[in-house]
């Protein structure tokens, strides 16, 4: 229902995205889009590139007088760094006379963990730059812009999405599910690692500092929490309609993510059913709106049978360490086929806080897609009326006593 594509290289002229399926009549707040882009640029552990960029999405189509028309929305995010890379990244057959920046030699020593080697084998590239420019996490800026629009749609059905960092290296919060939506929402945007526990945040900072001093990198985990998500999104009737599956795919598609969990995640496998499944109790009459039942726990992460159940949707993701090491790992120079340390590109030491913002965007996109699927309509007016009718019917049905 809602789909998007992105294009653009890390050091090319710009990133572009085309979003299709946003109904007509959504007022787009561009300051809010910029604010999300800024959040992605922050976090302790990022490299020098983020001092160059100041991301902003310029709308090219699909929006008129601030309101969506139902037509595809195109957004352009210029790369400020382009000026330093024109002589390396020009698209014309010959280097334009006015090209600026430095001319860089081909990259031939693949970084273990990056797409460099697999991409060179697949596409037959001699210069690994042709791989790494597109495999770069720079692309996630475009996803965050799409997610920022999706979030604005979701606000019309009440849903709010936040995230927090739960681990960096071996510094890990014991029970992320014990942390509430309200605690995470209260986090300041400039909190260095976006972790709710200040003492843990210091340990996490130490992990990053130690990695930086050693010329190394560090990964970690984060959790996205979507609050007040309408119940009934997704479906159990077919494998590709299950919302947990769709969320997992979306999260796993974020560069460097190696594991995804819903609710209790992998640890649910080590506990008996009596400690995993969330009991169903009658809600007090004062809370009878909504689904009308109370769940004392949320190990399911808001999804049962691939359908939202009215609880917070909680999706966690785990990121491997960044593949560019200042003290490079062993590799092979593909130009000479001799062993040689991997290439060094300017990079981040840790990008988990940024990945968390990207995770929020991906969750927003999947939930907006599912909301459009369930409530339908070509205009926001139709979608919101359908949502309200469903909500009223549901609360009437479940308040029967």
According to DSSP, residue 240 is labeled G
Residue 10 or 298 having the CB closest to ligand EPS: 10
The answer for residues whose C-beta is within 8 angstroms of residue 265's C-beta and 6 or more apart is 301, 316
Q: Which residue matches tokens 């997992």?
A: 248
What Cα–Cα distance (Å) separates residue 315 from each residue in 164, 279, 328, 369?
A: 11, 20, 33, 17
Mapping DSSP onto H, E and C, the string for 324-373 reads CCCCCCEEEECCCCEEEECCCCCCCCCCHHHHHHHHHHHHHHHHHHHHHH
Q: Does residue 49 interact with ligand EPS by CB under 6 A? A: yes
Q: Which stretch binds ligand EPS (CB under 6 A): 95-103, 278-286, 330-338, 341-349?
A: 341-349
Could you tell me the smallest distance in angstroms from the CB atom of residue 55 to ligand EPS?
7
Q: Which stretch binds ligand EPS (CB under 6 A): 119-127, 135-143, 172-180, 363-371?
A: 135-143
Residue 197 or 348 having the CB closest to ligand EPS: 348
Long-range pairs, 122-127, Cβ under 8 A, ≥24: 126/334, 126/335
Q: Which stretch binds ligand EPS (CB under 6 A): 45-53, 61-69, 94-102, 185-193?
A: 45-53
- What is the footprint of ligand EPS within residues 62-81 (CB under 6 A)? 81
Applying CB under 6 A, among 21, 47, 231, 290 the residue interacting with ligand EPS is 47
- What is the footprint of ligand EPS within residues 306-335 (CB under 6 A)? 324
Give the number of other Cβ atoms within 10 Å of residue 365's Cβ: 25
Applying CB under 6 A, among 167, 309, 347, 394 the residue interacting with ligand EPS is 347
Q: Does residue 136 interact with ligand EPS by CB under 6 A? A: yes
- Using CB positions, name the residue nearest to ligand EPS: 49
Q: Are 236 and 242 in contact (CB under 8 A)?
A: yes
Applying CB under 6 A, among 22, 128, 141, 363 the residue interacting with ligand EPS is 141
Applying CB under 6 A, among 122, 346, 385, 397 the residue interacting with ligand EPS is 346
CA-CA-CA-CA torsion sign (227, 167, 147, 314): negative
Q: Does residue 145 interact with ligand EPS by CB under 6 A? A: no
Nearest CA to 368 out of 127, 263, 376, 301 is that of 376
Applying CB under 6 A, among 10, 68, 299, 316 the residue interacting with ligand EPS is 10
Q: Are 168 and 352 in contact (CB under 8 A)?
A: yes
Residue 179 or 193 having the CB closest to ligand EPS: 193
Q: Does residue 138 interact with ligand EPS by CB under 6 A? A: yes
Q: Does residue 257 interact with ligand EPS by CB under 6 A? A: no
Q: Does residue 246 interact with ligand EPS by CB under 6 A? A: no
Applying CB under 6 A, among 9, 207, 223, 345 the residue interacting with ligand EPS is 345
Helix locations, 140-272, DSSP H: 140-155, 181-185, 198-213, 243-252
Could you tell me the smallest distance in angstroms from the CB atom of residue 76 to ligand EPS?
15
Q: Which two tokens stand for residue 207?
A: 């992990």
Q: Does residue 348 interact with ligand EPS by CB under 6 A? A: yes
Residue 137 or 315 having the CB closest to ligand EPS: 137
Q: Which stretch binds ligand EPS (CB under 6 A): 58-66, 232-240, 271-279, 344-352?
A: 344-352
Query: Parallel, antiparallel, or unpaired: how do β-strands 73-78 and 14-20 relate?
Result: antiparallel
Number of residues that bind ligand EPS (CB under 6 A): 15
The residue count of the chain comes to 401
Q: Which stretch binds ligand EPS (CB under 6 A): 26-34, 46-54, 179-187, 268-276?
A: 46-54
The answer for residues whose C-beta is within 8 angstroms of residue 291's C-beta and 6 or more apart is 231, 283, 309, 310, 394, 398
Residue 141 or 251 having the CB closest to ligand EPS: 141
Separation CA 200–CA 193 (nearest Å): 10
The answer for residues whose C-beta is within 8 angstroms of residue 380's C-beta and 6 or more apart is 23, 24, 25, 26, 68, 153, 156
Could you tell me the smallest distance in angstroms from the CB atom of residue 15 to ligand EPS?
9
Residue 26 or 357 having the CB closest to ligand EPS: 357
Note the residues at the interface with ligand EPS (CB under 6 A).
Answer: 10, 47, 49, 53, 81, 132, 136-138, 141, 324, 345-348
């Amino acid at each position: 229902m809602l789909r998007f594509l992105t294009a653009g290289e890390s050091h090319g002229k710009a990133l572009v995205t085309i979003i299709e399926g946003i109904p007509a009549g959504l007022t787009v707040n561009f300051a809010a889009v910029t604010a999300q882009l800024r959040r992605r640029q922050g976090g302790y552990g990022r490299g020098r590139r983020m001092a160059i960029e100041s991301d902003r999405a310029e709308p090219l189509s699909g929006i008129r007088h601030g309101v969506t028309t139902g037509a595809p929305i195109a957004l352009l995010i210029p790369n400020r760094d382009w000026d330093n890379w024109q002589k390396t990244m020009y698209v014309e057959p010959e280097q334009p006379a006015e090209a600026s920046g430095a001319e860089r030699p081909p990259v031939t020593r693949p970084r273990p963990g990056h797409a460099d080697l697999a991409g060179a084998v697949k596409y037959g590239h001699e210069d690994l730059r042709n791989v790494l420019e597109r495999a770069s996490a720079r692309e996630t800026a475009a996803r965050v812009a799409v997610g920022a629009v999706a979030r604005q749609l979701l606000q019309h059905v009440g849903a709010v999405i936040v995230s927090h960092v739960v681990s960096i290296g071996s510094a890990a919060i014991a029970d992320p599910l014990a942390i509430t939506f309200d605690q995470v929402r209260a986090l300041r945007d400039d909190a260095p690692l976006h972790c709710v526990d200040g003492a843990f945040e210091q340990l996490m900072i130490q992990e990053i500092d130690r990695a930086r001093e050693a010329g190394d990198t560090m990964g970690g985990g984060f959790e996205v929490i979507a609050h007040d998500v309408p119940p009934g999104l997704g479906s159990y009737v077919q494998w590709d309609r299950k919302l947990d599956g769709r969320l997992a795919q979306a999260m796993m598609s974020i560069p460097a993510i190696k594991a995804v969990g819903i609710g209790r995640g992998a640890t649910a496998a080590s506990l008996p059913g009596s400690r995993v499944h969330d009991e169903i109790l009658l809600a007090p009459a004062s809370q009878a709106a909504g689904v009308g039942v109370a769940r004392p726990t949320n190990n399911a992460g808001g999804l049962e049978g691939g359908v939202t159940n009215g609880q917070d949707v909680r999706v966690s993701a785990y990121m491997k360490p960044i593949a560019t090491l200042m003290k490079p790992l062993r590799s092979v120079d593909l130009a000479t086929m001799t062993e040689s340390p991997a290439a060094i590109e300017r990079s981040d030491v840790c990008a988990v806080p940024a990945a968390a913002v990207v995770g929020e965007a991906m969750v927003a996109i999947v939930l907006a897609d599912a909301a459009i699927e369930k409530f339908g309509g070509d205009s926001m007016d139709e979608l919101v009326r359908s949502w309200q009718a469903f909500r009223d019917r549901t609360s009437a049905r479940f308040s029967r006593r």
